[in-house]
Amino acid sequence: MLELKNIQKTFNAGTINEKKAINGLNLTLENGDFVTVIGGNGAGKSTILNLIAGVFPVDQGTIHLNGFNLTGLPEHKRAKYLGRVFQDPMMGTAATMGIEENLALAYRRGKTRGLGSGITAAEREIYREKLATLGLGLEERMTSKVGLLSGGQRQALTLLMATLQKPDLLLLDEHTAALDPKTADKVLQLTEEIVARDGLTTLMVTHNMKHAIQYGNRLIMMDAGRVVVDIRGEEKKNLSVRDLLEKFNIENDRMLLSE
Ligand SMILES: Nc1ncnc2c1ncn2[C@@H]1O[C@H](COP(=O)(O)OP(=O)(O)O)[C@@H](O)[C@H]1O
Ligand SMILES: [Mg+2]
């Protein structure tokens, strides 16, 4: 279970660029919750994911994961509990390294054995099987440099890496926004499969309202650094984009553009 209590975050405090990004945010996720997160530009969606991951510290409030207090922990010490995929396909993988080397790095996350000791045949077999589940033929290209892959292939690989060691929480920040619609759908499908298969607790930011409705068991909307809408269960299943727009009166929001 993830528990965010009264989180506050201001950037550039005391300067002309001061910005209150998160303003008393409370959010509790049950284990296995797959929560989609929507909200206008600057609502604080990425910031909250970054605060959970420890990219920067909270000003106030607490972050607990499965009863464990993460609040004061540096980013690298939280990494072993978390899987992350960002919008930019270039960020999650090492371009100059091979597919299997990237997977080996992910596989060794939080373990002492580095890449120096080489990839064993047994590991290679695990990677091959995992890659095959993506249905992209990457299992036949295990030594190819990741830089040669398409954006969609890289995001699929990043997703695989983020979930290779089952994370306690999966954080997805508009991870399909840079992909063409068909590829985005494919990566979202894969996301849903992996989340369901491993029962992963997941926060998925999207600017696409259809996707926010279609995926997950719960939908939250953020505005001005808080959760302003929280819909789950049957209500979420019956939700339409029109409902969302009417109910919350956000017709002019940029989210409309990507409907
Ligand atoms: N590292 C940072 N330094 C300064 N301001 C930031 C930083 N990250 C985010 N902000 C500001 O905080 C607000 C929330 O940003 P963000 O969480 O990225 O919004 P979004 O909901 O679009 O992901 C915005 O006004 C943004 O400009
Ligand atoms: Mg963002």
pLDDT at 109: 77
Which residue is closest in CA terms to ligand 1's atom 4? 11
| Among candidate residues 196, 247, 244, the one with its CA nearest the CA of residue 217 | 196
pLDDT at 110: 66
User: Which ligand 1 atom lies nearest to the CA of residue 56?
Assistant: 1
User: Which ligand 1 atom lies nearest to the CA of residue 22?
Assistant: 14
pLDDT at 113: 64
| Among candidate residues 46, 44, 9, 49, the one with its CA nearest the CA of residue 29 | 49
Specify whether the CB–CB gap between 180 and 156 falls below 8 A: no
Listed as ranges, residues in the chain with pLDDT below 50 are 251, 254-255, 258-259
Length of the chain: 259
User: Which ligand 1 atom lies nearest to the CA of residue 205?
Assistant: 23
The residue type found at 42 is G
Residues 6+ apart with CB under 8 A from 92: 84, 85, 86, 154, 155, 157, 158, 161, 162
Give the CA distances from residue 79 to residues 82, 90, 111, 173, 218, in Å, rounded to whole numbers and listed in that order.
5, 19, 11, 16, 25
pLDDT at 247: 64
Any idea which ligand is nearest the CA of 17?
1
Pocket of ligand 1 (CB under 6 A): 11-12, 19, 21, 39, 41-47
| Among candidate residues 29, 88, 22, the one with its CA nearest the CA of residue 57 | 22
pLDDT at 253: 54
Q: Ligand 2 centre and the CA of 104: distance in Å?
A: 29
pLDDT at 126: 94
The residue type found at 90 is M
Which residue is closest in CA terms to ligand 1's atom 6? 11
